[in-house]
């Protein structure tokens, strides 16, 4: 199983750079920055910014991140099986707001053209590790407070079953750390090695 992890323990970057690219899922212009060893929303522009890893993963893949959504119940995103990231993206997205809803969407032509596949009430816990997994047609959203993961949503959708890109993002304030990708497919993905050992990025 191929994997990638990033603890973001390195010098600040504005915006966060390679091996990530910046995309706003709703045509906005806000960037995500690396600041104080975590990723957070920049102060410029509008929109719902995401950072997308430049490798191609899957189609069986899981992506997770340690999320601190602040004190005002801010929504954040996890994305998998993305093709054509940006306004015409296809793939799957988890949109989570603490103490409100967790939704899994299928994107058919960008964030503004999406279909809710499944929803559940999100726990009222400010800091959690969230994981979105696509395994064949089964899509699972889980969370952990430091131990085993608890499955919040298990659903099925077979519309997009090819390898793609993965990422995370947020509409407003949040902090993301310990980003992890696990490729669960039989073959390893082709991914660029763009950091040196000791930078916080691991392959």
Q: Which residues contact 155 (CB under 8 A, 6 or more apart)?
A: 104, 117, 118, 138, 139, 140
Which position has the higher pLDDT, 33 or 48?
A: 33
The pLDDT value recorded for residue 199 is 39
The pLDDT value recorded for residue 23 is 81
The counts of H helices and E strands in the chain are 0, 16
**Residue listed under structure tokens 């504005």:** 14
What is the model's pTM?
0.87
Which position has the higher pLDDT, 179 or 187?
A: 179
CA distance 25 to 158: 22
- Convert the pLDDT of each residue in 182-193 to its tens digit: 999 865 544 443
- The class that CATH gives domain 3-192 is mainly beta
- Token readout for 193 is 């090695």
Taking the alpha carbons at both ends of the chain, their separation in whole angstroms is: 11
> For the chain, which residues make up each domain, given as ranges?
3-192
- Convert the pLDDT of each residue in 24-42 to its tens digit: 665 555 688 899 999 987 6
């Amino acid at each position: 199983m191929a994997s990638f992890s990033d603890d973001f323990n390195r010098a600040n970057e504005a915006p966060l750079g390679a091996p990530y690219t910046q995309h706003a899922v709703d045509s906005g212009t806000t960037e995500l920055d690396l600041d104080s060893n975590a990723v957070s929303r920049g102060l410029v522009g509008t929109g719902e910014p995401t950072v997308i890893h430049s490798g191609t993963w899957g189609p069986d893949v899981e992506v997770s991140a340690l999320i601190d959504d602040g004190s005002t119940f801010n929504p954040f995103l996890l994305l998998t099986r993305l093709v054509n990231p940006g306004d015409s993206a296809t793939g799957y997205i988890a949109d989570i707001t603490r103490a409100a809803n967790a939704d899994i969407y299928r994107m058919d032509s960008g964030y503004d053209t999406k279909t809710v596949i499944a929803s559940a009430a999100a726990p009222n816990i400010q800091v959690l590790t969230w994981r979105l997994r696509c395994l064949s047609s089964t899509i699972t959203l889980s969370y952990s407070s430091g131990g085993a993961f608890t499955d919040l949503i298990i659903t099925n959708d077979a519309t997009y079953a090819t390898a793609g890109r993965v990422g995370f993002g947020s509409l407003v304030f949040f902090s993301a750390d310990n980003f992890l990708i696990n490729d669960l497919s039989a073959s390893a993905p082709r991914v660029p090695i763009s950091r040196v050992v000791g930078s916080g990025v691991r392959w």
